[in-house]
């Protein structure tokens, strides 16, 4: 049944992104000045989980990289690397200018100079930027003339609400693209893209793909995860074709897998908050903060913790309830 298993993995980047033509065109247009040796606007990409934000960002920057000789680009996810110096280090390393520097203990000023001193343009993608606890990171980067930023977050209202107004007004000048959840038929096409590239022809029934797209409800990651689990089920059973009977029994497994991946991605402090809520089942905000402060030696400030909690909610790992004053947090089952 399987011809190319890699295609079914989540991090496989398809040659062509389906149903994002308009967005891709808009974004490449915004980056176009770079190919003429000019600066470009910074870019913000927003949209719910699984709408292709990360994939689209990498796609357009790779495309630019192929078209224009000698640009540099880097990618960093703020969920795993939250400190200012770790983020900038990561970008400088991607630009190939950190070989002689250590990740810890190098001053950010020195790191920023490395980007400034590049002869070429640098495009830095900062994913899940809403959990960044120090907005000076973005500020420091965009002040460098040859740096363009592509910022990704689920909801930019929340992101802006926490920013210093001067910083916010500057970021608001960025070009913005919002990716909507995929429609049923769009998900079906995305699934067929993977099936055609990864599986032997004729082994998948149309109804199966319809069913997977229904369950995934607009989330491409969910759709692909469910496809992979179903194929595994079929292979284990020695089935000749992939039917709904292979999908139904693995629907919970697929949800659990996504849940686990989301947890694995969390940075240290987010993980502490998640684990406290998970252990408690349900916990009030003040008790949560108290336990967190007991648990970690270098607690983050409350406004940062609130961002972390917000993103745990986006990833459906926790569920808040109650008013802001009497906020409760509950662990959410996959």
Ligand X SMILES: Nc1ncnc2c1ncn2[C@@H]1O[C@H](COP(=O)(O)OP(=O)(O)OP(=O)(O)O)[C@@H](O)[C@H]1O
Enumerate binding residues for ligand X (CB under 6 A): 10, 14, 17-20, 47, 49-55, 154, 190, 193, 220-221, 224
Closer residue to Mg ion, CB minimum distance, 44 or 242: 44
State the distance between the two ends of the chain, measured CA to CA, in whole angstroms: 29
Which part of the chain contacts Mg ion (CB under 5 A), choosing from 52-60, 217-225, 259-267, 270-278?
Answer: 52-60
Residue 13 beta carbon to ligand X: minimum distance, rounded to whole angstroms: 6
Which part of the chain contacts Mg ion (CB under 5 A), choosing from 51-59, 172-180, 183-191, 243-251?
Answer: 51-59
Question: Running DSSP on this structure, what letter comes out for residue 155?
Answer: -
Q: How far, in whole angstroms, is CA 50 from its chain's centroid?
A: 8
CA distance 144 to 311: 29
Closer residue to ligand X, CB minimum distance, 18 or 139: 18
Closer residue to ligand X, CB minimum distance, 58 or 289: 58
Nearest to 209 by CA among 188, 228, 229, 235: 188
Asked if 148 and 40 touch (Cβ cutoff 8 Å), the reply is yes
Asked if 329 and 277 touch (Cβ cutoff 8 Å), the reply is yes
320 binds, among ligand X, Mg ion, none (CB under 5 to 8 A by kind): none
- The count of other CB atoms within 10 Å of the CB of residue 21 is 10
Residue 150 beta carbon to Mg ion: minimum distance, rounded to whole angstroms: 12
Residue 127 beta carbon to Mg ion: minimum distance, rounded to whole angstroms: 6
CA atoms within 13 A on the CB side of 59: 22
Residue 290 beta carbon to Mg ion: minimum distance, rounded to whole angstroms: 32
Residue 220 beta carbon to ligand X: minimum distance, rounded to whole angstroms: 3
CA distance 163 to 303: 11
Tell me the residue number closest to ligand X, measured at CB. 52
Question: Running DSSP on this structure, what letter comes out for residue 151?
Answer: E
Residue 36 beta carbon to ligand X: minimum distance, rounded to whole angstroms: 28
Closer residue to ligand X, CB minimum distance, 50 or 124: 50
193 binds, among ligand X, Mg ion, none (CB under 5 to 8 A by kind): ligand X
51 binds, among Mg ion, ligand X, none (CB under 5 to 8 A by kind): ligand X
Closer residue to ligand X, CB minimum distance, 144 or 263: 263
E-strand stretches of 210-308: 282-284
Residue 186 beta carbon to ligand X: minimum distance, rounded to whole angstroms: 8
Residue 227 beta carbon to ligand X: minimum distance, rounded to whole angstroms: 10
Judged by CB under 5 A, the number of residues near Mg ion is 1
Mark 245-284 with x for binding to Mg ion (rule: CB under 5 A) and - for no binding. Answer: ----------------------------------------
Which positions ≥6 away from 43 have C-beta within 8 Å? Answer: 27, 30, 31, 148, 149, 150, 151, 174, 175, 176, 177
Token pair belonging to 273 = 């908050």
CA distance 7 to 199: 9
CA distance 43 to 150: 5
Q: Report helix, strand or coil for 104.
A: coil
Token pair belonging to 29 = 């247009």
Closer residue to ligand X, CB minimum distance, 48 or 320: 48
Among 42, 46, 51, 54, binds Mg ion (CB under 5 A): 54
Closer residue to ligand X, CB minimum distance, 254 or 283: 254
CA distance 296 to 80: 17
Which residues make up the interface to Mg ion (CB under 5 A)?
A: 54
């Amino acid at each position: 049944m399987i011809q190319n298993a890699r295609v079914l993995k989540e991090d496989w980047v398809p040659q062509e992104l389906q149903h994002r033509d308009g967005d891709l065109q808009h974004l490449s247009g915004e980056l176009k000045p770079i190919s003429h040796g000019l600066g470009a606007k910074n870019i913000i990409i927003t949209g719910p989980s699984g709408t292709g934000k990360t994939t689209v960002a990498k796609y357009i920057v790779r495309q630019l990289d192929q078209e224009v000789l000698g640009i540099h680009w880097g990618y960093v996810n703020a969920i795993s690397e939250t400190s200012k110096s770790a983020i900038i280090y990561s970008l400088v390393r991607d630009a190939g200018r950190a070989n002689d520097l250590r990740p810890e203990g190098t001053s950010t000023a020195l790191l920023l100079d490395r980007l400034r001193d590049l002869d070429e343009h640098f495009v830095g993608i900062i994913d899940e930027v809403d959990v960044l606890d120090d907005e000076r990171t973005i500020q420091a980067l965009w002040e460098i003339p040859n740096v363009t930023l592509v910022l990704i977050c689920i909801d930019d209202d929340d992101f802006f609400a926490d920013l210093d107004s001067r910083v916010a007004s500057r970021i608001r000048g960025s070009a913005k693209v919002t990716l909507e959840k995929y429609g049923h038929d769009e998900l079906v096409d995305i699934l067929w893209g993977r099936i055609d590239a990864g599986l032997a022809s004729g082994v998948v029934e149309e109804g199966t793909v319809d069913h997977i797209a229904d369950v995934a409800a607009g989330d491409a990651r969910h759709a692909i995860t469910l496809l992979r689990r179903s194929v595994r089920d079929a292979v284990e059973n020695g089935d000749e074709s992939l039917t709904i009977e292979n999908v139904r029994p693995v629907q919970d497994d697929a949800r659990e897998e996504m849940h686990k991946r989301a947890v694995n991605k969390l940075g240290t402090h987010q993980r502490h908050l998640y684990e406290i809520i998970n252990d408690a089942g349900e916990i009030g905000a003040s008790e949560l903060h108290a336990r967190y402060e007991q648990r970690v030696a270098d607690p983050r400030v409350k406004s940062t913790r609130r961002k972390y909690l917000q993103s745990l909610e986006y990833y459906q790992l926790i569920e808040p309830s109650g008013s802001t004053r009497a906020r409760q947090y509950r662990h959410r089952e996959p």
